[in-house]
Amino acid sequence: MTAHHFVGEGGYSEGLLAAGGAEGLLAKVSALVDAVGLQVMAEQAVPFPGGGATLVWVLAESHLVLHLWPEEDHVTIDLHICDYRTENEARARRLRDALDRFCFAPGSSGWTELMVGGRQLVSA
């Protein structure tokens, strides 16, 4: 099985700040997932004292996790998309790019693509 696994981090974007909290973020990011042709099966937001939160989307193709530290102006993203039934590399890359634009302040993001299923490491 081949999979596409991206880990990103960066500073808070205006979009995150304007989303209206965890519920607004769940809806906005679910729409991004849908827009690239992937499918949300379940979603959950867990808020923490100080305004931070962990948001999880279980996808038909695997998962997406956002960890938010507004007090530190820091966001991390874990995106894992599998090719179990169909080739999803283009969808995974489009979602990574959409998340980069929505979640991270311009110029603040850094991404790593991890090797999964024997694939070669590709710079993201």
The CATH number assigned to the domain holding 73 equals: 3.60.90.10
State the Cα–Cα distance between residues 10 and 14, nearest whole angstrom: 13
Would you say residue 106 lies in a domain?
yes
Q: What range defines the domain where residue 73 resides? A: 3-114
Would you say residue 121 lies in a domain?
no
Give me the pLDDT at residue 75, please: 97
Would you say residue 123 lies in a domain?
no
- Mean pLDDT, rounded, for 110-122: 73
Q: Which of 4, 6, 33, 5 is nearest to 110 (CA)?
A: 6
At 53-104, the pLDDT tens digits run 999 999 999 999 999 999 999 999 999 999 878 899 999 999 999 999 999 9
- The total number of structural domains that make up the chain: 1
17: pLDDT confidence band, cut at 50, 70 and 90?
Answer: confident
Would you say residue 120 lies in a domain?
no
Would you say residue 19 lies in a domain?
yes
Per DSSP, the chain holds a count of helices (H) and strands (E) of: 3, 6
Query: Which are the contacts of 68, defined by CB distance < 8 A and separation ≥ 6?
Result: 12, 16, 25, 51, 52, 53, 54, 55, 75
**What is the separation of C-alpha 3 from the centre of its chain, rounded to a whole number of angstroms?**
15
Give me the pLDDT at residue 122, please: 54
Give me the pLDDT at residue 84, please: 79
